[in-house]
Amino acid sequence: MLSPIRGFLRSRVYTHKILPAALLSGTIIGAGVFSLPFIFERAGWVAGAFYLVAGTAVFYYIHVMYADIILRSGESFKFVGYARQYLGEAAFWISILVTVIGALLTLTAYLVLANKFFEIIFPGVPMINGSLSLFWLISSITIFISVKRMARLEFLITGGMIAIIFLIFLFGLFGNPERITEMATINWGWWWLPFGPVLFSISGRSAVPAVIEYFEENRIPFDQFKKVIFWGTTVPAIVYGIFVVGVIGIASIITENSIAVFKSLPSVFPAAVGVLGLLSLWSSYIVIGMSVDEILRIDLKIPKIMARLAVVVVPVLFIYAGFNDFIKLIALAGGIFLALEGIIVTAMWQKVEVLGLPRFLFILRPVPRIIPYLLLAVFLVGVIYTAGF
């Protein structure tokens, strides 16, 4: 009985396509999913679906463009290093500002969301400040003892989250699925609301170097690379759509983070969602915290103690400064900082094209030349809107 499973796990489809796509999908699927039901209900289901599809297309091109930059450069830089090489010193400092502040806002959003997961694991227990402190303390400690193996658990955690999401979808189908059709199709007053949260939910640029490394280490031909990027970016969007349908079918009232709806589910299901949610936040918190720590120490030459103090303390300071609204946090992180990151990637790719660096095996022709300009326009409009939001 196990032979077919072993055969599949050794097959080229699994090792050459599914695993590298899962590497990207596992990075993308995260906390942003919990904002989407509220976004869909507020902006309208047609508007929400439009942003989800459009956001997937946008980040497919961003992921492929960033991979193209890496492969054609022949240099092993981090994101900020490529910005300096192709766009100059000013772009280097802007990219550091964008990545560091965007990441710290993301860590802040994770702290806010962690409280909500504790509430469904321990219903009725007044431990909000204590739970925030506990999650913050454990996450901060594990960042600095270099538990990089924790990142490998992300595959298992993501698989568990996907299984939970499908169960939520089934509950929704047997609940009140017609609520989807009862929702507004488009609420023009909230048309721009999904922009930041959807960008936050679909972005996986940081995982692209790992996908490239996987291809190179396993000597996989790059002729399938764009398909891997396509499915690695598209599968999370499909999972998100299923989650939205399930939550809307279950809930009578949808909150900004959708977590409260799980309290009405039967048996130990709410606690299972809470535990998986916390594990997902924990693993992502570690990876993002390490990334910020490296940028501060390596790129900015900040002393280790000061860099680590910033990673540990700034998210808490953000919360006490009033940044404790989950939707606004991910709208800022996605609508401004990830959008600016998208602008930098697009500008770098255009510079690589102008320099005429040799194309790699997965050439970007047939990408119409208008695509980079459309991406720049989308990101610029989104940044302007979010800044006024």
Tell me if residue 193 falls in helix, strand or coil.
Answer: coil
Tokens describing residue 6: 């072993």
Domain boundaries, the chain: 19-388
Residue 12 has a pLDDT of: 64
* pTM for the model: 0.86
Tokens describing residue 119: 């509430």
Tell me how far apart the alpha carbons of residues 275 and 119 are, in angstroms, rounded to a whole number: 11
Residues near 388 by beta carbon (within 8 Å), at least 6 away in sequence: none
Burial of 28 (0-12, 13-18, 19+ CB in 10 A): buried
Tell me if residue 240 falls in helix, strand or coil.
Answer: helix
Q: Which of 200, 221, 230 has the alpha carbon at shortest distance from 64? A: 230
Q: Would residue 293 be called left, alpha or beta, if left means φ above 0 and alpha means ψ between -120 and 50 degrees?
A: alpha
Question: In the structure, what pLDDT confidence band is assigned to residue 27 with cuts at 50, 70 and 90?
Answer: confident
Residue 344 has a pLDDT of: 95
Residues near 180 by beta carbon (within 8 Å), at least 6 away in sequence: 45, 245, 248, 249
Residue 147 has a pLDDT of: 46
- Write the pLDDT tens digit of every residue in 179-230: 777 788 889 888 888 999 999 999 988 888 888 888 888 888 787 888 899 9
Residue that wins the pLDDT comparison between 269 and 345? 345
Comparing 19-33, 82-96, 264-278, the range with the smallest average pLDDT is 264-278
- Region 39-46: what's the mean pLDDT? 90
Of how many residues is the chain composed? 389
Amino acid at the residue 21: A
Query: 62 and 204 in contact (C-beta within 8 Å)?
Result: no
Residue 367 has a pLDDT of: 64
How large a percentage of the chain has pLDDT more than 70? Answer: 84
C-alpha separations of 337 from 94, 134, 260, 342, 364 in Å: 10, 28, 28, 9, 26
Q: Which CATH code is given to the segment(s) 19-388? A: 1.20.1740.10
Q: Give the side-chain half-sphere CA count within 13 A for 210.
A: 17
Quick one: angle between helices 153-173 and 269-294, nearest 10? 140
Comparing 4-13, 254-263, 298-307, the range with the smallest average pLDDT is 4-13
Q: Where would I find the beta strands (DSSP E) of 111-201?
A: none
